[in-house]
Amino acid sequence: MLSLKHVAINSFNENIVYLHRDCDIYKVEDIKNVTKIEVHGGAEPVGAFLEVVDDESIVSPNQLGVNNQAFEQLNLPEGANVTVSLATVPSSVASIKRKISGNVLYDSEYKAIIKDITAKKYSNMDVASFLVATGSFMTVQEVLALTEALAGDECYNWDNENIVVDHHCMGGVPGNKTDIIVAAIVAAYGLPVMKTASRSLTSCAGVADTFGVLANVDIDEKIIRKSIRENRGAIVNHYNLPITYASKVISSVQRNLGMVKQEHVLASIIAIKLITGVSHLLVDIPVGPNSNIKTTNDALKIRKMIEYIGDMLNIQVDAVITDGSEPIGNGVGSVLEARDVMRVLRNKENAPQDLKEKSLFLAGRLIEFDPKVRGGQGYHIAKEILASGRALEALNRIIYTQGKAPQAQLGRLTRDITADKHGVVESINNSRINRIGILAGAQQTPGSGLDLFKKVGDKVERGDVLYRIHSVNANDFAFANSAVDGDNGYEISSKK
């Protein structure tokens, strides 16, 4: 028997076990492979990757060290007696093999795979296999099956509401934080907005990051319900909703692999909407050569898939294809984006017009989910609500209920990127701007990012500032600087 020891290492979503090289119970010196074992002693065996330690201060030869994740899952006290065996491959891996061979999987197979992921039987490597295997093709029925599997059996019940709305953007456009403005306008109108959002996956800032600058987004169901009851809206980081564990793991592995497949994203998103009891969903599909979705044909395919899944799951879906050819607003990065959002809500003169107009358009579409609204009137209603200041009041109430966030500082390390010739901004490369913002530290520190002073179509003189880099950490600042010198993401044409 080995004695359990908690080693305070957080490996995010992977269980790790540490054995000393001289472990006398379980001989490890010869293991020269990726080795997954099972730890026995708790209510159920817990799978974990084996790592071998040569330092008795971490584990001694009669101990079994476990990282935070495995310790939590084992749910045993330190010093408990445990044994280990080689792990077996989860049975649902047989379905991944079937998929690799080109089969269409049954609904029950998606259920079994997601059940194994939720039970933490899949390593990140296994999740990667699943994503790659289903990455070659999925029928719409398969996407539906994955959606239902991810949603599971529990979902929020909104007995007193006929309509619960949400809005989701397929992403890929830096600065595109319409979500918060839209939520504020629609909540002010009175339709309940159950806005689930994520932290950044591949962008500089997710909606949860940007709203996280203003309010606490890691709230539980009780606060969500209170805010929706009292303010007609809540904007929540779905990451901490316990029922979305499998979606979380999938997103995390996708991001790491650098392979984000729209079918997986869709299933994951709609599952979260299903879990949170959304009845009416607006989906924004931006199309642009450097956006996530590059052609109108791709966007149409996604729209049809969303519509099909919505119909099958009894969610009213309105999917709109929008212009994703350049960044929206001026700020890229949480603090700068939150500033833009507040400028729009405060009806400031320097509010970015593209962000304002797109938000009004989307809010109008959501308001038209209300049977009382005459077709085509949504936009005007939204505009009136924004202009009157009622949207700002609604957002302030939501912030108050969710809890105001401590002030986040804009990064003080700055550099102005200037035009190297006279001309007109011909294009701004979304993915390049995104990359520079990430290097500047946007994903780790909310105060880092880019402030865009010029947009497509603007005239520039040589030496005009195109954008300003903000970094919090010197380390990140240096990486952003060296990246920007290669390609700053702007194309200036000399034509009049």
Question: Using CB under 8 A, which residues numbered 76 to 115 contact its own copies?
Answer: 83-86, 89, 93, 96-97, 100-102
Task: Determine the residue type at 452.
Answer: L
DSSP designation for 237: E
- Least separation in angstroms between residue 426's CB and its own copies is 26
| CA-closest candidate to residue 133, choices 291, 275, 263, 273 | 263
Q: Which amino acid belongs to residue 468?
A: R
Among 342-350, 357-365, 412-420, 442-450, the segment contacting its own copies (CB under 8 A):
442-450
Question: Exposed (0-12), middle (13-18) or buried (19+): which is 421, by Cβ within 10 Å?
Answer: exposed
**Smaller CB separation from its own copies, 6 or 225:** 6
Cα atoms in the 13 Å half-sphere on the side-chain side of 389: 2
If 0-12 CB within 10 Å is exposed, 13-18 middle and 19+ buried, where does residue 430 land? buried
Under 8 Å between Cβ of 338 and 235:
no
Q: Would you say 251 and 269 are in contact if contact means Cβ atoms under 8 Å apart?
A: no
Token pair of 144 as six digits: 């539906």
Q: Alpha-carbon distance 3 to 61, whole Å?
A: 10
Nearest to 172 by CA among 490, 469, 429, 483: 429
Amino acid (one-letter) located at 324: G
Residues 464-493 that bind its own copies (CB under 8 A): 472-473, 475-476, 478-479
Please say which residue, 18 or 467, places its beta carbon nearer to its own copies.
18
**Min. distance of Cβ 10 from its own copies in angstroms?**
4
Q: Which of residues 179-208 bind its own copies (CB under 8 A)?
A: 199, 201
CB of 290 to its own copies, least distance (A): 16
**Residue 396 or residue 473: which is nearer to its own copies going by CB?**
473
Is 135 within 8 Å of 259 (Cβ atoms)?
yes
Question: Binding residue for its own copies (CB under 8 A) from 276, 443, 471, 488?
Answer: 443
Beta carbon nearer to its own copies, 336 or 385: 336
> 70-74 long-range contacts, Cβ below 8 Å, gap at least 24?
70/15, 70/16, 70/17, 70/39, 70/46, 71/4, 71/6, 73/15, 73/42, 73/46, 73/120, 74/4, 74/39, 74/41, 74/42, 74/46
CB atoms within 10 A of CB 21: 12
Is the Cβ of residue 179 or residue 209 nearer to its own copies in the bound state?
209
Question: Where in 283-312 is the site for its own copies (CB under 8 A)?
Answer: none
Contacting its own copies (CB under 8 A), which of 75, 444, 459, 462?
444
Would you give the end-to-end CA distance of the chain in angstroms? 80
Strand partners, 427: 491
354: tokens are: 């593209």
Site for its own copies in 213-242 (CB under 8 A): 239
51 or 284, CB closer to its own copies? Answer: 51
The yes or no reply on residue 405 touching its own copies (CB under 8 A) is no
Tokens encoding 221 = 């169901």
Contact 40, 83 (CB under 8 A): yes
CA distance 433 to 452: 10
CA distance linking residue 199 with residue 209, whole number of Å: 5
Closer Cβ to its own copies, 85 or 353, answer by number = 85
Name the segment binding its own copies (CB under 8 A); options: 169-177, 247-255, 348-356, 423-431.
Answer: 247-255
Contact indicator for 277, 312 with CB cutoff of 8 Å: no
Determine if 135 is a binding residue for its own copies (CB under 8 A): yes
124 near its own copies, judged by CB under 8 A: yes
Span interacting with its own copies, options 27-35, 267-275, 283-291, 295-303, rule CB under 8 A: 27-35
Does residue number 439 form part of the binding site for its own copies (CB under 8 A)? yes
Bridge partner residues of 86 (DSSP): 37
Of positions 104, 259, 312, 387, contacts its own copies by CB under 8 A = 259
CB of 23 to its own copies, least distance (A): 11
Please pick, from the candidates 128, 278, 287, 309, the single residue that binds its own copies as defined by CB under 8 A.
128
**Among residues 291, 445, 471, 488, the one that binds its own copies under rule CB under 8 A:** 445
438 binds its own copies (CB under 8 A): yes
Q: How far is the CB of 187 from its own copies (least distance, A)?
A: 27
When binding is defined by CB under 8 A, the residue of 125, 387, 412, 487 that contacts its own copies is: 125
The binder of its own copies chosen from 34, 43, 154, 371 (CB under 8 A): 34
Q: Shortest approach of its own copies to residue 288 CB, angstroms? A: 19
Q: How far is the CB of 262 from its own copies (least distance, A)?
A: 13
At 482, give phi and psi (nearest 5°): -70, -30
User: Cα–Cα distance between 455 and 488 in angstroms, integer?
Assistant: 13
Residue of the chain from 4, 17, 36, 345 that contacts its own copies (CB under 8 A): 36
Q: In which region does residue 44 sit, left (phi positive, over 0), alpha (psi from -120 to 50) or beta (all else)?
A: beta
- Minimum distance from residue 350 beta carbon to its own copies (Å): 30
Which positions from 47 through 76 interact with its own copies, judged by CB under 8 A? 49, 51-55, 57-58, 67
Cβ 139 to its own copies, closest distance in Å? Answer: 15
Q: Cβ closer to its own copies: 251 or 291?
A: 251
